[in-house]
């Protein structure tokens, strides 16, 4: 593989961002960057189109990406779990649960504060305490991913002795059952766990796929073209969400993103995408506000009439603004927004031991 390091040297938190240090795997960061851009794109485009009551060309891009957008995110999140899953529970919980819980509490509170006036207008100010507490049971807004990811980590560690041939069919069956209870944790767990588990148990095969793509780029490009035609046909013909089809498209689409990002890493271009991937938790946590502000400004002023272009600009603002904000605050007291302070860590360390990056 080209790039900076092999998979064995990777030192970032599995999943979104974390406190990783180089060396890293460039195509993995590319893949995380690709996914976070498409997540922001989805929220931006749907928000713009709903507010404007019109559709634009970006809506087709969002629809095309639906089968693979979140499956790839969860598959990438499971890639490095095998390296740490056998660690003691205290260390494991610190890095895989408390780490994400900390950011959920901080950013849930921030999002709630911004949305509180609107909720009070609908439900009354007296309802706000209950609604806030409900956010610790039912994930709030765009933060459901970092709420669900620690659950995946814990479930996978608890079941690590269960044979793959038992776990994998169960996980696949949950996805194909299209469970709709109305509770985000239950529904999203059923729909997404299989992709996280596949990333965990088939990580060597995923890295081998990336290596083959980089060693035979023309074959990789041909595969991407074939996948694009298949995915597009099934999406726009209305078959993509059928049981079994959605699972297959999610897995094939995740493989396509791995292939694409391996090729992008090999090219040496798209460094901005790799940077976004290295800081994907920053974008994920903070994109909601610049996205909303940019959408309101553009739609209220009407300076751009094309809804697709508006959606594209709102997406760019949602990705770029958090990265700029992070760069501005990383050496200030506000760094707690993106960096977990030592007092919120439960990992036991020997006296005087140097801190190590999370894995």
The 10s digit of each residue's pLDDT in 38-52 is 999 999 999 999 999
**Domain-located, residue 351:** no
Q: Is 137 exposed, middle or buried (0-12, 13-18, 19+ CB in 10 A)?
A: exposed
Q: Is residue 143 part of a domain?
A: yes
pLDDT of 350 reads 58
Task: Indicate whether 11 pLDDT > 90.
Answer: no
Query: In 3D, which of 205, 264, 235 has the Cα closest to residue 79?
Result: 205
User: Helix 144-158 and helix 99-123: axis angle, to 10°?
Assistant: 140
Q: Which two tokens stand for residue 340?
A: 């977990």
pLDDT at 347: 82
Q: Are 179 and 220 in contact (CB under 8 A)?
A: no
- Does any domain span residue 353? no
Q: What is the distance between the alpha carbons of residues 262 and 209, in angstroms, rounded to a whole number? A: 9
- pLDDT for the residue 20: 39
Question: Quick check: is 2 in a domain?
Answer: no
Q: 12: pLDDT confidence band, cut at 50, 70 and 90?
A: very low
Domain hosting residue 214, numbered range = 7-339
User: Does 191 have pLDDT greater than 70?
Assistant: yes
Model pLDDT, residue 24: 77
Q: Please tell me the total count of domains within the chain.
A: 1
- Mean of the per-residue pLDDT values of the chain: 90
How many whole angstroms separate alpha carbon 68 and alpha carbon 35? 9
Q: What is the pLDDT of residues 245-302, one digit of tens each?
A: 999 999 999 999 999 999 999 988 889 999 999 999 999 999 999 999 999 999 999 9
Position 19 scores a pLDDT of: 38
* Residue 165: per-residue pLDDT: 96
Burial of 303 by CB count in 10 Å (0-12 exposed, 13-18 middle, 19+ buried)? exposed
Is 182 a residue whose pLDDT tops 80? yes
CA distance 69 to 235: 13
In a domain, 359, yes or no: no
Q: Is residue 345 domain-resident? A: no
pLDDT of residue 76 exceeding 70, the answer is yes
Helices (H), 20-143: 26-52, 58-65, 69-78, 89-93, 99-123, 128-134
User: Helix, strand, or coil here: 268?
Assistant: coil
In terms of Cα–Cα distance, which of 133, 148, 141, 29 is closest to 97?
Answer: 148
Over residues 143-152, the pLDDT tens digits come to: 999 999 999 9
pLDDT at 74 over 80: yes
Q: Is residue 344 part of a domain?
A: no
User: What pLDDT shows up at residue 23?
Assistant: 53
**pLDDT over 60 at 356, yes or no:** no
Residue 352 lies inside a defined structural domain of this protein? no
The pLDDT value recorded for residue 172 is 98
């Amino acid at each position: 593989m080209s790039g900076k390091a092999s998979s064995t040297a990777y030192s970032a938190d599995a999943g979104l961002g974390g406190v990783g240090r180089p060396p890293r795997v460039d195509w993995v960061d590319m893949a995380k960057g690709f996914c976070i851009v498409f997540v922001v794109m989805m929220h931006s485009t749907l928000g713009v189109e709903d507010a404007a009551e019109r559709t634009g060309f970006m809506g087709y891009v969002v629809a095309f990406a639906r089968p693979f957008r979140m499956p790839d995110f969860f598959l990438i999140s499971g890639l490095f779990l095998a390296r740490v899953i056998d660690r003691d529970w205290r260390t494991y919980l610190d890095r895989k649960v408390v780490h994400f819980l900390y950011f959920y509490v901080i950013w849930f509170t921030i999002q709630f504060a911004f949305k509180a006036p609107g909720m009070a207008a609908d439900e009354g100010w007296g309802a706000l305490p209950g609604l806030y507490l409900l956010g610790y049971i039912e994930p709030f807004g765009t933060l459901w991913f970092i709420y669900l990811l620690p659950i995946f980590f814990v479930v996978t560690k608890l079941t690590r002795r269960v044979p793959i041939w038992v776990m994998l069919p169960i996980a696949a069956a949950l996805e194909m059952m299209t469970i709709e209870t109305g509770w985000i944790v239950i529904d999203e767990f059923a729909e997404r766990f299989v992709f996280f588990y596949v990333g965990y148990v088939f990580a060597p095969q995923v890295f081998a796929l990336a290596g083959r793509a980089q060693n035979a780029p023309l074959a990789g490009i041909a595969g991407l073209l074939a996948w694009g035609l298949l995915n597009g046909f099934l999406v726009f013909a209305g078959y993509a969400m059928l049981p079994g089809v959605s699972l297959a498209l999610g897995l094939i689409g995740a493989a396509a993103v791995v292939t694409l990002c391996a090729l992008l890493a090999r090219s040496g271009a798209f460094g901005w995408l790799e940077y976004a991937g290295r800081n994907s938790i920053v974008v994920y946590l903070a994109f909601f506000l610049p996205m909303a502000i940019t959408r309101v400004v553009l739609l209220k002023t009407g300076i751009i009439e094309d809804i697709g272009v508006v959606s594209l600009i709102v997406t760019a603002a949602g990705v770029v603004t958090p990265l700029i904000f992070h760069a501005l605050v990383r050496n200030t007291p506000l760094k707690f927004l993106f960096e977990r302070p030592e007092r919120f860590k439960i990992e036991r360390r020997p006296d005087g031991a140097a801190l190590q990056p999370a894995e």
